[in-house]
């Protein structure tokens, strides 16, 4: 009598929009600040991801404190959804610069800002001049431009295109690109073990 083993291949699909992907790509970039150009509830999803990461790390016995960069939302309301939210975004960016003094600001676009046609690229350029610091609008717009990984990829591209410079190789180091659970994720732990 044998035991029949059945393996079921499960393909995980992502069910969030691109904004949490933008957040995850940028949430631990020192000196950065992320603005969701969105209604306030959109930021709740990103906060939930941070809480989930905290619980996973705690369950794994890690005593790491996560310190993500500030996440703000422009707080688009019904009024902006009808008449446009560009001025609301400008006000949010001014507030962010004054309160947090970031070294760089990234704008994550929501479905709402995409549907109403807010030109966040132009606003980013305008506010960069006004504030005297790099302001980058990530091109993804919520569910309009894909899911989580589309946002992650767009944000990573924005980081590379805007800030990455050639560097000399350093012995005993590797560069991990992609969503690997942050600096305390499983991939990083395994690479540390292999390089030790």
- Give tens-digit pLDDT for 40-52: 988 877 766 666 6
Per-residue pLDDT at 17 exceeds 90: no
> Do 36 and 43 touch, CB atoms closer than 8 A?
yes
- The pLDDT-based confidence of 15 (bands split at 50, 70, 90) is low
What's the pLDDT at 42? 85
pLDDT computed for residue 59 by the predictor: 66
- Report pTM: 0.80
Query: Domains of the chain: which residue ranges?
Result: 18-167
Q: What is the CA radius of gyration of the chain?
A: 19
Q: Is 171 helix (H, G, I), strand (E, B) or coil?
A: coil
Of 115, 114, 113, whose CA–CA distance to 87 is shortest?
113
Task: Return the structure tokens found at 179.
Answer: 């969503």
Q: By C-alpha distance, which of 38, 33, 13, 12 is closest to 23?
A: 33
Please give the mean pLDDT across all residues of the chain: 84
User: Span 145-152, mean pLDDT?
Assistant: 85
Domain range 18-167, CATH architecture: 3-Layer(aba) Sandwich (3.40)
Residue found under tokens 């591209």: 157
Per-residue pLDDT of 100-137, as tens digits, reads 999 999 999 998 999 999 999 999 999 999 999 999 99
Enumerate the β-bridge partners of residue 9.
none
């Amino acid at each position: 009598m044998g035991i029949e083993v059945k393996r079921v291949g499960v393909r995980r699909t992502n069910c969030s929009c691109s904004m949490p992907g933008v957040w995850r790509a940028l949430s631990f970039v020192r000196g950065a600040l992320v603005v969701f150009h969105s209604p306030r509830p959109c930021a709740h999803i990103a906060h939930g991801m941070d809480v989930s990461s905290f619980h996973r790390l705690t369950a794994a016995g890690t005593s790491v404190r996560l310190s993500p960069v500030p996440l703000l939302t422009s707080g688009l309301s019904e009024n902006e959804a009808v008449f446009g939210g560009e001025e609301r975004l400008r006000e949010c960016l001014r507030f962010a610069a004054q309160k947090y003094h970031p070294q760089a600001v990234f704008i994550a676009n929501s479905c709402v800002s995409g549907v109403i046609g807010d030109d966040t690229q132009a606003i980013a350029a305008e506010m960069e001049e006004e504030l005297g610091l790099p302001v980058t609008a990530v091109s993804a717009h919520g569910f309009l431009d894909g899911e989580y990984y589309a946002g992650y990829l767009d944000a990573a591209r924005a980081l590379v295109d805007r800030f990455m410079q050639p560097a000399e190789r350093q012995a005993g180091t590797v560069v991990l690109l992609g969503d690997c659970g942050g600096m305390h994720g499983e991939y990083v732990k395994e690479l540390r073990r292999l390089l030790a």
